[in-house]
């Protein structure tokens, strides 16, 4: 097995035994990034070789001194909306092309404290607005599957593609309406959105503050449990952070599913779902039944309203959050403006891409006088109904299981001029985000030689149950370690 094929847990075992060093592993990834990323996968916006090697050598020195830490010496990469002190953070936008933070995000600090090594920052749809990573202001990321002609999903497409192409041992993304789970499904990796508030949002450049949540991309569920353990926990710097104890997620793994009650929401098998995706998900349900789980259909009747309500709430919050980019406080400012108002128009006109402008206009309209009650307030009421659907389902079931995406990875450019078709890619993930629930995508097979994802959904703060179900399925189904040819 090559170094770049090691999981987090395997890499840690090798370093703890002295069979390899963090510097050796880090150099292997940096060489692979140099060879396969720019012009091919295009997952990285910024590579940090000097910092990575410095951190790797420090990790090796700590280990020689008898120290250890949960992720000591493991190379990782972060979605480029994660604040990293002295390392450029662009959010995939020209607006922040030269922005270098003076502080780290809480998640960055926790990963550094655990000993992780930063390889660089990963491409994304601009300000996390998109489902294909084609909305990056710099370049599209390509899915390692499908001869580099397919999208990796979005908005955390760089994070998913980098993991699938073995350009990092694990990566971090963010999920607002499916931006971890959908690209994880399309790239054939594990992606986890914890409960809203379980992981600190301090230092996450905001898109929609009531929905945004950090989470990991990993090669398997065991790695996912370990990374989730490291990044979870209360943070006084984040007013939405939940002050709740973090259990041992690793201890949840390995338990059988006998007697576990699993609901399958019928509404998630939407019109237009590809036949190969539906067949793969039904085959996965058969595996869960064979493991002793009680699998039954359940109805979540307000699911159909999730997409429309999300595309009122999220753009409204986006409109408020992105008002700060005005050419005065920080970020890009138009160099040829003749007045204050001219500067404002030109800065936002040149600095934001088409999709960001579209969502700002949608959100501003929904919040405007005379329309607030008719659109934004009504969408918030529908959000409550969606959450109540889940609450009722979880009175009977321990977890819910559904498709992650209705399709496999589509062609680059196929939907870029059709916003509605693009938005429909998140139809299976948005309701989970609206309710603030934990959701994980795990590979469940192939359709037309492209990965399919199975979504496992849990009660609030039931990350352990989600991981347990996903791990049991993964071990029985045999799809763990699914890799495209590019990664070998």
Q: Across-strand partners of 170? A: 76
Of the candidates 324, 375, 102, the residue with the CA atom closest to the CA atom of residue 209: 324
Q: So what's the pLDDT on residue 289? A: 98
Residue pLDDT, tens place only, 57-78: 999 999 999 999 999 999 999 9
Tokens read off for 438: 């934990």
Q: Based on the number of CB atoms within 10 Å of its own CB, is 214 exposed (0-12), middle (13-18) or buried (19 or more)? A: buried
Upper half-sphere CA count for residue 150 (Cβ side, 13 Å)? 22
Work out the average pLDDT over 292-317.
Answer: 97
Assign domain 3-257+438-487 to a CATH class. alpha beta
- Token pair listed for 155: 């908005």
Average per-residue pLDDT for the chain = 96
Active-site annotation, residues: 79, 155, 179
The strand pair at 261-265 and 399-403 is best described as: parallel
Rg (C-alpha) for the chain, rounded Å, is 21
Q: Residue 122: beta bridge partners?
A: 44, 79
pLDDT at 342: 87
pLDDT band at 424 (very low <50, low <70, confident <90, very high): confident
CA 363 vs CA 86, 271, 340, 367: distances in Å: 33, 28, 24, 6
pLDDT at 488: 44
pLDDT in tens, 432-485: 999 999 999 999 999 999 999 999 999 999 999 999 999 999 999 999 878 898
CA distance 24 to 20: 7
Query: What is the three-class DSSP state of 44?
Result: strand
> Could you report the per-residue pLDDT of 100-142, keeping only the tens digit for each?
999 999 999 999 999 999 999 999 999 999 999 999 999 999 9
pLDDT beyond 70 at 487: no
* Residue 378 and residue 256 in contact, taking contact as beta carbons nearer than 8 Å: no
118 within 8 A of 25, measured Cβ to Cβ: no
User: Looking at residue 416, what is its pLDDT?
Assistant: 87
Largest CA distance in the chain: 70
pLDDT at 386: 98
Confidence grade of residue 212 (pLDDT, cut at 50, 70, 90): very high
Nearest to 406 by CA among 479, 303, 288, 302: 303
CA distance 463 to 441: 13
User: 4 Cβ partners below 8 Å, 6+ apart?
Assistant: 28, 29, 32, 166, 167, 487
Q: Is the distance from CB of 424 to CB of 272 less than 8 angstroms?
A: yes
Q: Which tens digits make up the pLDDT trace of 238-278?
A: 999 999 999 999 999 999 999 999 999 999 999 989 999 99
Q: What angle do CA 186, 190, 194 make, to 5 degrees?
A: 110
Q: What is the mean pLDDT of residues 190-209?
A: 98
Closest CA to 256 of 471, 14, 427, 407: 471
Nearest of 138, 180, 176 to residue 160 by alpha carbon: 180
- pLDDT band for position 335 (cuts 50, 70, 90): confident
Residue 417: pLDDT band (50, 70, 90) is confident
- The residue whose two tokens read 């607030």 is 372
Q: Quickly list H helices, 196-305.
A: 221-231, 275-290
**266: which DSSP letter?**
G
Instruction: State pTM to two decimals.
Output: 0.97
Beta-carbon contacts of residue 154 (< 8 Å; ≥ 6 apart): 124, 125, 130, 131, 132, 133, 134, 135, 179, 182, 183
Over residues 157-187, the pLDDT tens digits come to: 999 999 999 999 999 999 999 999 999 999 9
The pLDDT confidence band at residue 341, using thresholds 50, 70 and 90, is confident
């Amino acid at each position: 097995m090559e170094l770049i094929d090691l999981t987090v847990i395997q890499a840690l075992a090798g370093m703890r035994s002295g069979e390899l060093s963090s510097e050796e592993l880090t150099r292997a990834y940096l060489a692979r990034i140099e060879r396969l990323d720019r012009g091919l996968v295009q997952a990285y916006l910024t590579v940090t070789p000097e910092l990575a090697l410095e951190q790797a050598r420090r990790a090796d020195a700590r280990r020689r001194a008898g120290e250890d830490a949960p992720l000591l010496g493991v190379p990782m990469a972060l979605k480029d909306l994660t604040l990293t002190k002295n390392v450029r953070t662009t959010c995939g936008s020209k607006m922040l092309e030269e922005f270098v933070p003076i502080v780290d995000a809480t998640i960055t600090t926790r990963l550094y404290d655990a000993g992780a090594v930063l390889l660089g920052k990963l491409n994304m749809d601009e300000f996390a607005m998109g489902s294909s990573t084609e909305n990056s202001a710099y370049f599209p990321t390509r899915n390692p599957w499908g001869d580099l002609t397919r999208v990796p999903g979005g908005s955390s497409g760089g994070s998913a593609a980098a993991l699938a192409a073995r350009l990092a041992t694990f990566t971090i993304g963010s999920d607002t309406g499916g931006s971890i789970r959908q690209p994880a499904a399309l790239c054939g990796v594990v992606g986890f959105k914890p409960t809203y508030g379980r992981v600190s949002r301090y230092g996450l450049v905001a898109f929609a503050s009531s929905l945004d949540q950090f989470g990991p991309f990993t090669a398997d569920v065991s790695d996912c449990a370990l990374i989730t353990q490291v990044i979870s926990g209360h943070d006084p710097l984040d007013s939405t952070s939940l002050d709740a104890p973090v259990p041992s997620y690793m201890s949840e793994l390995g338990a059988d599913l006998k007697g576990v009650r699993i609901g399958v929401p019928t509404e998630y098998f939407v019109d237009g779902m590809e036949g190969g995706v539906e067949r793969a998900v039904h085959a996965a349900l058969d595996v869960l039944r064979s493991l002793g789980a009680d699998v039954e259909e359940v109805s979540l009747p307000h699911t159909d309203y999730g997409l429309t309500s999300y595309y009122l709430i999220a753009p409204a919050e986006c409109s408020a959050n992105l008002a700060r980019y005005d050419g005065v406080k920080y970020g890009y400012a138009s160099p040829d403006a003749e007045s204050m108002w001219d500067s404002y128009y030109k800065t936002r006109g040149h600095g934001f891409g088409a999709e960001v402008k579209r969502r700002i206009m949608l959100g501003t309209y929904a919040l405007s006088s005379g329309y607030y009650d008719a659109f934004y307030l009504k969408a918030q009421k529908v959000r409550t109904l969606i959450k109540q659907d889940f609450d009722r389902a979880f009175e009977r079931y321990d977890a819910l299981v559904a498709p992650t995406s209705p399709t496999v990875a589509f062609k680059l450019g196929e939907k870029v001029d059709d916003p509605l078709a693009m938005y429909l890619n998140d139809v299976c993930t948005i309701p989970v985000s609206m309710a603030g629930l934990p959701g994980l995508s795990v590979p469940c097979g192939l359709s037309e030689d492209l990965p399919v994802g199975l979504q496992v959904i849990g009660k609030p703060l039931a990350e352990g149950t989600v991981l347990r179900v996903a791990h049991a399925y993964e071990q029985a189904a045999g799809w763990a370690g699914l890799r495209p040819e590019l990664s070998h």
